Amino acid sequence: MYSTNHKINEAVLTVINDGNGSQCGMDYNERCRVAEFGLADFNTACKKYNPFLSRKEAREAAELLQAYYHEHVKEGA
């Protein structure tokens, strides 16, 4: 579930570990709630955490996050 780009990995790990949403703007429950259809929400969270990510980097990070949370919710978090 990782990228070869360290900026993408940093964004993904930060969002996953941002329990209350202070860094990305979405708390854990919000991230779980948008797991299936929230690609745009994850993209926004990545850009909020690191506004210097390119559009492509933010999109890739958002896709990784959506896949992670989709599996997480499916497994019955």
Q: What would the pLDDT profile of 29-72 be if each residue is shown by its tens digit?
A: 999 999 999 999 999 999 999 999 999 999 999 999 999 999 99
Which residue type does 7 have? K
Q: Which of 5, 15, 1, 4 is nearest to 47 (CA)?
A: 15
Residue 69 lies in a domain: yes
Residue 67 lies in a domain: yes
Residue 1 lies in a domain: no
Total structural domains within the chain = 1
Report how far apart, in Å, the C-alpha atoms of 7 and of each of 16, 29, 35, 45, 76 are. Answer: 14, 24, 22, 14, 29
CB neighbours (10 Å) of residue 33?
15
Domain that holds residue 22: 6-74
Residue 14 — φ and ψ, nearest 5°?
Answer: -65, -45
Q: Residue 55 has what pLDDT?
A: 98
Residue 29 lies in a domain: yes
- pTM given for the model: 0.94
Residue 17 lies in a domain: yes
Instruction: Assess whether pLDDT exceeds 80 at residue 3.
Output: yes
Instruction: Assess whether pLDDT exceeds 60 at residue 77.
Output: no
Q: Residue 6 has what pLDDT?
A: 97
